[in-house]
Amino acid sequence: MKNAAQIINSIQDKPQFTKLAKFKCIKKIQSIFVPALQKMIKFAYIKNDTLFFVLNHPGAKQEFDNNIQNIKSALNFHTPDECKETPIKEIKAFVTHTPDIKLDIEPKELQLYSERASGDIEVNIKDEKLRALAKSIQEIIKRHHNS
């Protein structure tokens, strides 16, 4: 009897699931990177024999560009088994500035707090406009404090 891993591997070998093989290849290459760089990768895809990494920070792009030659030479020297059917001739990266959309966000309840200020302050302002403004604010505070 087959276990789950064997069933998944046999399904992935079928021609209609070639995208799963590409996904495994991308994940294998991504696992080679430093953990800090792995966290900054939003997603990756293969198009026209080019592996694109979409990064979420310009610093990650700079780090990626610094190490891209090492990555290419390592892949040319030893291609992972998952990438045998997926030809990768070029590796590129770019930064996306689109925000992550979280669909399961619940609206926050509006929290209302009771007025802690009592309005019992002395207004010693000589300018009449500022004094009138401060007095009106004081009256608003007193109304809210009493209600």
Residue 63 and residue 131 share a domain: no
3-state secondary structure of 82: helix
Task: Decide which of 95, 118, 139 is a domain's last residue.
Answer: 95
Residue 76 and residue 38 share a domain: yes
pLDDT at 104: 67
| CATH code of 80's domain | 3.30.300
Alpha carbons 39 and 60: distance in angstroms, whole number: 9
pLDDT at 147: 64
Tell me if 141 is assigned to some domain. Answer: yes
Mean pLDDT by 10 residues, the chain (147 residues): 80 76 84 85 89 88 84 80 80 82 71 76 89 91 78
Tell me if 130 is assigned to some domain. Answer: yes
pTM over 0.85: no
Residue 73 and residue 22 share a domain: yes
Residues contacting 99, CB < 8 A, separation 6+: none
Enclosing domain of residue 110: 106-147
How many domains does the chain contain in total?
Answer: 2
Residue 120 and residue 85 share a domain: no
pLDDT at 30: 86
pLDDT at 115: 65
pLDDT at 100: 67
Partners of 43 in beta bridges: 54
Alpha carbons 38 and 64: distance in angstroms, whole number: 10
pLDDT at 131: 92
